[in-house]
Amino acid sequence: ATTAGDEEVAPVKEFTVEGKNFSFSPATLAVQKGDKVKITFKGTEGFHDFVIDEYEVATKQGQAPFEEVVEFTADQAGSFEYYCSVGQHRAMGMKGTLTVAE
């Protein structure tokens, strides 16, 4: 039995992802389904953004140096690609994988 004030609060998984020409570091992130996810995207080189389509997450496109935070709840299990939507950057390998474990 749970009483008021006892409810479980999902842990916040915090990550810093750096974007440069033409990669993300780190290129893999892993969380559990139900986690709240907070990603600080730091553009350290060039003109980039950070996008995860399935979670409707996107930073603005910015010229380095810039920083933006996105937050969402990982409510779908699976592997999701994050990428830079500027020009051909995604095709040039500027992408990574968010894995959400069941």
pTM of this prediction exceeds 0.85: yes
Angstrom distance (rounded) from CA 79 to CA 75: 12
Each residue's pLDDT, cut to its tens digit, for the chain (102 residues) gives 544 555 567 679 999 999 999 999 999 999 999 999 999 999 999 999 999 999 999 999 999 999 999 999 999 999 999 999 999 999 999 999 999 999
